[in-house]
Amino acid sequence: MPLKTFAPAALAAGFLLFSLNVLSAVPTPTPKSSVWVRYPTAPDKLSPAAALGKLIFFDATLSGSGQMSCATCHSPDHAYGPSNGLAVQLGGVDMKHAGARSVPSLRYLTFTPLFTRHYYVPASEDSDDEGPTGGFMRDGSMASLREQMAMPMLNPNEMANASREAVVAKLHRSPYSAAFARLYGANVWADPAKAFVHAGEALEAFETEDPSFHPFTSKFDAVMSDHATFSAAELRGLKAFSDPDKGNCAQCHVASPGPGGRPAAFTDYSFVALGLPRNQEIPANRDPEYFDMGLCGPMRSDMAKETQYCGMFKTPTLRNSAGRGVFFHNGVFHKLEDAVRFYSERDSNAQKWFARQSNGKVDKFNDLPKAYRINVDYVDPPFTHSPRKPVLRDAEIRDIVVFLKTLDDGFSSVPGGPARK
């Protein structure tokens, strides 16, 4: 896998300045309140398409069970992530069908770049190939939010509609049917394929326009705009998070502003095989022959032959991850501290994380077929072939957890604002 020397999104603005600050004793990160002016904030009033998309997002009658909407899995009270700690959610016509991946947050997806196998940092002449980057879903298989809608609507484990036509028939019967026709034309119901596309456009408008999808109201944002200060523990956590010799987390979970001074995304959208432990909570994993390998399938089918990518999943934002009850694509961890500790000890203490084979050997990277375990990242710290001891001390793990909590929205009532009264 290519060595990622630079986090792509970080380069465009202020990376050096910021990292110098972070590594010195007291990080006073560069962006001031002006960044909120430059960031294209959503209008207070949604466009008609976004307002319609909102109705669709919360409409449980659009599912085969009549009990499940987008919001059932992507709860607005949980940063549009899952409201429970289940590794995978139940859905389908009888609400008893389990999915195979944990539910991601839908916040801050707006800035996701298009999927590419080979990412080069824009406007940089000596950029290395950063490898696969971008796209929606944990395997980058969807090019846009509007197309993405078809997946949950038709997935037999999720909203379980029999066809696009079935979804459109429900939209036609909905209380907002007239609004739909006003927006997309009186004849819209005559062409279900087209009406389905329009529903996707409406959802996309809601997911990109509504401020609830990108509130930037975390303590981190308040500190960045000089409206709050980190505690000593939060600062220590940020340092361990950013330090290449400690967590090195910021290499992938970029902590510096993005293009145009946009607030840090805490992801570079890159794909990495972390070599997570297999999760027996996922019913599909009862079949020892079944492996969810991300980029190379089986959920994504177009890259099945590109086995060098087997095991790779997209780096998610860490904004609002502290409030989650389930971590990583397979939901194998339910405590943030365990997720952080895994990074620190994966290579120094593998027997703690991975089950043993019948011959007593630790089955390291047991959520991948043996042939593809070479794809697991050993290049980027904190991972290493030659571990002497855990990368992080217990106190550092605690500090990183404390820092990650500053990424949860809700500290301020306005983007980058002071603490809520």
Nearest Cα neighbor of 261 from 29, 8, 14, 7 is 14
Burial-class residue 336 by CB neighbours within 10 Å (0-12, 13-18, 19+): buried
Q: Compute the distance between CA of residue 44 and CA of residue 285 in angstroms, rounded to an integer.
A: 45
Of the listed pieces 151-159, 167-175, 188-196, 279-287, which binds ligand HEC according to CB under 6 A? Answer: 151-159
CB of 273 to ligand HEC, least distance (A): 7
Nearest Cα neighbor of 89 from 79, 99, 75, 80 is 99
- At residue 9's C-alpha, the angle toward residues 80 and 79, to 5°, is 10
Of the listed pieces 10-18, 334-342, 347-355, 405-413, which binds ligand HEC according to CB under 6 A? Answer: 334-342
Establish if 188 lies at the interface with ligand HEC (CB under 6 A).
no
List 54, 101, 164, 319, residue binding ligand HEC (CB under 6 A): 101
> Smaller CB distance to ligand HEC: residue 141 or 225?
141
For residue 401, the tally of other CB atoms under 10 A from its CB is: 18
- At residue 120's C-alpha, the angle toward residues 116 and 124, to 5°, is 155
Structure token pair of residue 144: 């846009």
List 12, 203, 303, 368, residue binding ligand HEC (CB under 6 A): 203
CB of 349 to ligand HEC, least distance (A): 15
Q: Compute the distance between CA of residue 91 and CA of residue 60 in angstroms, rounded to an integer.
A: 12
Encoded amino acid at 71, one letter: A
List 166, 181, 299, 304, residue binding ligand HEC (CB under 6 A): 299
In degrees and rounded to multiples of 5, residue 78 shows phi and psi of -130, 45
> Smaller CB distance to ligand HEC: residue 177 or 384?
384
Site string for ligand HEC, 45-74 (x = CB under 6 A): -----------------------x-x-xxx
Establish if 138 lies at the interface with ligand HEC (CB under 6 A).
yes
- Say if CB 320 and CB 81 are below 8 A apart: yes
Compute the half-sphere exposure of residue 396: CA atoms within 13 Å on the CB side of its CA. 19
Q: Compute the distance between CA of residue 327 and CA of residue 315 in angstroms, rounded to an integer.
A: 12
CB of 37 to ligand HEC, least distance (A): 28
Judged by CB under 6 A, the chain residues 206 through 265 that form the site for ligand HEC are: 247-249, 251-253
- Say if CB 388 and CB 348 are below 8 A apart: yes
CB of 397 to ligand HEC, least distance (A): 8
> Smaller CB distance to ligand HEC: residue 225 or 321?
321
CB of 192 to ligand HEC, least distance (A): 16
List 12, 93, 106, 167, residue binding ligand HEC (CB under 6 A): 106
- Say if CB 270 and CB 315 are below 8 A apart: yes
Judged by CB under 6 A, the chain residues 18 through 47 that form the site for ligand HEC are: none
CB of 360 to ligand HEC, least distance (A): 27
> Smaller CB distance to ligand HEC: residue 65 or 217?
65
Judged by CB under 6 A, the chain residues 363 through 402 that form the site for ligand HEC are: 377, 380, 382, 400
Q: Compute the distance between CA of residue 297 and CA of residue 372 in angstroms, rounded to an integer.
A: 12
CB of 383 to ligand HEC, least distance (A): 7
Establish if 99 lies at the interface with ligand HEC (CB under 6 A).
yes
- At residue 229's C-alpha, the angle toward residues 108 and 408, to 5°, is 30
List 329, 341, 346, 405, residue binding ligand HEC (CB under 6 A): 329
Q: Compute the distance between CA of residue 279 and CA of residue 283 in angstroms, rounded to an integer.
A: 9
Position of tokens 């991948």?
A: 368
What spatial distance separates the first Cα and last Cα of the chain, rounded to whole Å? 48
Residues of this chain that interact with ligand HEC (CB under 6 A) are: 68, 70, 72-74, 89, 91, 99, 101, 103-104, 106, 109, 136-139, 145, 148-149, 152-153, 158-159, 203, 247-249, 251-253, 272, 274, 276, 299, 313, 315-316, 318, 321, 324, 327-329, 336, 339-340, 343, 377, 380, 382, 400
